[in-house]
Amino acid sequence: MPLGKQVKVMKCWRCKAYGHRTGDRECPLFLSGNTASEDFRFIHEDPMHGYLTGRKSTSKEERIKQLQALLEESTDSDSSLSSSSSSNTRESQKTSKKRHYRHTKHKLKKQKSHHHKSKKKKHKGK
Tell which wins on pLDDT, 18 or 117.
18
C-alpha 39/C-alpha 53 separation (Å) is: 16
69 assigned to some structural domain: no
Structure confidence at residue 84 (pLDDT)? 53
Q: Which of 105, 28, 108 is nearest to 20 (CA)?
A: 28
Q: What is the residue range of 34's domain?
A: 8-62
**Is 77 inside a domain boundary?**
no
Please indicate, yes or no, if residue 35 is contained in any of the structural domains: yes
Could you give the number of structural domains in the chain? 1
Is 97 among the domain residues? Answer: no
Given CA atoms 106, 108, 111, 112 in this order, what sign does their dihedral have?
Answer: negative
pLDDT at 75: 85
The identity of residue 45, as a single letter, is: E
Please report whether residue 112 resides in a domain.
Answer: no
- Its pTM stands at 0.33
Q: State how far the Cα of 84 lies from the Cα of 25, in Å rounded to an integer.
A: 70
pLDDT for position 59: 95
Q: What is the pLDDT of residues 43-89, one digit of tens each?
A: 878 888 888 889 999 999 999 999 999 999 988 877 766 555 555 56
The identity of residue 68, as a single letter, is Q
Percent of the chain whose predicted confidence (pLDDT) is above 70: 50
Indicate whether 79 belongs to any domain.
no
